[in-house]
Structure 1
Amino acid sequence: YGQVYPHPAIKDAVIIRPDEHDASEVLPEGRELVVSRRCAEAVLRGSNVFIPGMMGCSPHAAKGDLVTVLCDVHDRFLRGASTHILSTRKLDPKRMKGFVANHMHEVADDKKQQFRLNNSKLSHLYGDTNRSDDPSFPELPEGIVVIGKGVMQVDRRVAMSAKEGLGCVMTQCIFRAPPLNGLLPGLMYVQNLPSIVVGHVLDPQPGERILDMCASP
């Protein structure tokens, strides 16, 4: 699963650096599942897919189906969308929120960077991405990337209507990170480094009352 080592300056922090798979090993197959950007970030850290992060899937996706997990980097999908991205290589405007075709490329660079796969990896998956005029080398729509594959734990109806629960168990991911859900409950949490640093800078003392307006968990 990569490297695990203590942070050089923060004694109560451990860094987990996952291995990166060759994206060519994650070949799209089966039905498809579209997840939100935040959900995809959790998956890349080792999580499975939970129902609140599931935005759309193939029309007849059922429990036990193998699905290719796609991330919509720009969070454009309305929850409950029926998607046919892998077969058509297109997005359906009727399934998207505030969709304006001319504005699809007006997105923040930081969102693009988090899920950008280099051209060599994309060429293994979808052919030469610079040859979009050649139908034998199709590419996914802008902002849609493959992050792995998994097995549906619920059928489509539950996935698109329930508010909680496990939706898809990941069997393959472009990053290999260990799942930490339920590991040392109450003692260890997965956090980004800035969230860890805040606690040290605040330096709370016994008897003080601290109100964290964005606490998680």
Structure 2
Amino acid sequence: MEKFTKWLSEPPKYTTFRINRLSPFNCDILKNFLSIQAAELNTSTLPNFYLLTSDCLVLERWPEEYTNVNATKTVIVDSLCAAAVLRGANVFAPGVMGFPVDCKLNDVVEIYGDLSGHCKRGLKVEYSGEKLFVGTGTVKMLRNDLYNKGIQPSGIAVKTIMPASRLPVINEQIYPDGIIVLQNLPSIVCGWVVDARPNEYILDMCAAPGNKTTHLAEMANDKAVIIALDKTSQKVEKIKENCIKQGVTCVRAYTFDSTKCSSNESIGRDFSPPYYPNSFDKVLLDAPCSGLGQRPMLKNKITPKMLESYKFVQRKLMSMAVEVLKVGGRLVYSTCTVTVDENEGMVQWALQKFPCLKLISAHPLHGGPGLAGCGLNDEQRFMVQRFSPEVDPLREAEPIYRDTIGFFIAAFTKI
């Protein structure tokens, strides 16, 4: 357990981007960007990067020869911001908690994450609570911009020079809109498992922000009918925005509660919900979950009561997914958590609850098998994918798939 907890507290050793299959991709743009960064960092060695598949780009860390710039001032950020910095992000204004009064623009500062959660926003003096060094950066906003204008600040407050993880500071904007998407590797694998094809009717039940949705559209060469649902209108707008950005036209996004998406008296028009039973060739249920697989997890605020609640909404969603799936269709269930109740436990519950469901291989099998002793036999464990650091002799995952966020994927068919 100690090894697993340590794994959760650390970021993966690489960053993954999904490449838009509908657009040409040029590796030289990334190489040139990294070369400019290398010159600024006074190093001649670039991070290694390569195509894992035609739609997945892997970017590794800066070499160990790099040494951090000396800094005499410290900025304190909240735990979520600190985790993002360790993954290669800049420091955005809402995450800044403590900021020295004598900081000037372009000052080099050390960035620390507030692990205890006790830092008061606007702190002027040195923070005495538990903190973690997460990187160095240059100041891009002054204290007055952060705290004294009476409005919520936005924008980059500190431009990260080098995270403590040595992951490159890079985002999608180095390419034209929609060419690459920052996406965790298991999330990309999830799209491969759905395996969207042209002319299929596909439902993405909990689709926001649309990364998996657009991946499915691209896999189908933008020639499927993909329905994307989310119960929050702002999130649905984000799905639509991402579809436009990535040149996807086959997605129809609706604000709707997927726990009510099936009806024998469907009133939907022009693909709008709810839907008759047996409507979809494929259903993706990337379920709301406790999110306990996110890395690095520097602070966990979830309570036992909250943890217990997720399986109930997941079961409601699974019930709807089974209803709207066609006989012979494929249902893919996924979470970004590590709990048994939300993963192996959900598979066990679904198979017992729905005799029409049959567990099938969540191919391609890149993650490890399901956990032993958690309700699934070895044959069933082999069919699912659990992304974690453990090595299981039933199926040993390659190292790159063991150094991801915690994630789970299962696939079913309806008989």
Superposition TM-score tier, normalisation by shorter sequence: 0.5 to 0.7
Distance 1:183 1:84 in 2: 36
Among 195, 198, 208, the alignment partner of 2:202 is 208
Superposed, which structure 2 residues align to 1:54-93 within 5 Å?
Answer: 54-85=96-127, 90-91=128-129
Aligned position for 1:126: none
What SS does the corresponding residue of 1:182 show, helix, strand or coil?
A: helix
**Alpha-carbon deviation of 1:208?**
2.7
What are the ranges of 5 or more consecutive residues in structure 1 without an aligned counterpart?
92-141
- Does the CA-based 8 Å contact 2:162-2:169 persist in structure 1? no
- Does the CA-based 8 Å contact 1:30-1:65 persist in structure 2? no
Superposed, which structure 2 residues align to 1:45-194 within 5 Å?
Answer: 45-85=87-127, 90-91=128-129, 142=130, 144-160=131-147, 162-174=152-164, 175-184=166-175, 185-194=177-186
Q: Percent identity?
A: 24
1:80-139 Cα offsets, whole Å, 9 max, x none, are 333403xxxx22xxxxxxxxxxxxxxxxxxxxxxxxxxxxxxxxxxxxxxxxxxxxxxxx
Distance 1:65 1:156 in 2: 13
Aligned position for 2:290: none
Residue identity in the other structure for 1:212: C
Aligned position for 2:62: 19
Q: Which has the higher helix share?
A: 2
What is the RMSD of the two structures over their aligned residues, measured on CA atoms? 2.9
The 3 A distance-change label for structure 1 pair 62 and 5 is same
Distance 2:207 2:125 in 1: 36
**Alpha-carbon deviation of 1:47?**
2.6
Distance 1:81 1:204 in 2: 50
What SS does the corresponding residue of 2:113 show, helix, strand or coil?
A: strand
Aligned residue-pair number = 159
The 3 A distance-change label for structure 1 pair 41 and 149 is same
Distance 2:113 2:210 in 1: 23
**Alpha-carbon deviation of 1:182?**
0.4
The 3 A distance-change label for structure 1 pair 188 and 76 is farther
Runs of 4+ off more than 6 Å: none
- Does the CA-based 8 Å contact 2:68-2:162 persist in structure 1? yes
**Alpha-carbon deviation of 1:35?**
1.9
- Does the CA-based 8 Å contact 1:32-1:83 persist in structure 2? no
The more displaced of 205-214 and 175-184 is: 205-214
Distance 1:208 1:81 in 2: 50
- Does the CA-based 8 Å contact 1:45-1:179 persist in structure 2? no
The 3 A distance-change label for structure 1 pair 70 and 193 is same
**Alpha-carbon deviation of 1:29?**
2.5
Aligned position for 1:37: 79
**Alpha-carbon deviation of 1:164?**
1.9
TM-score (norm 1): 0.59
Aligned position for 1:102: none
1:24-66 Cα offsets, whole Å, 9 max, x none, are x336633211123332333333332221222222234343332
Distance 1:40 1:13 in 2: 26
User: Rg bigger for which structure?
Assistant: 2
- Does the CA-based 8 Å contact 1:35-1:56 persist in structure 2? yes
Distance 1:36 1:21 in 2: 27
**Alpha-carbon deviation of 1:76?**
4.3
Among 45, 49, 54, the alignment partner of 1:4 is 49
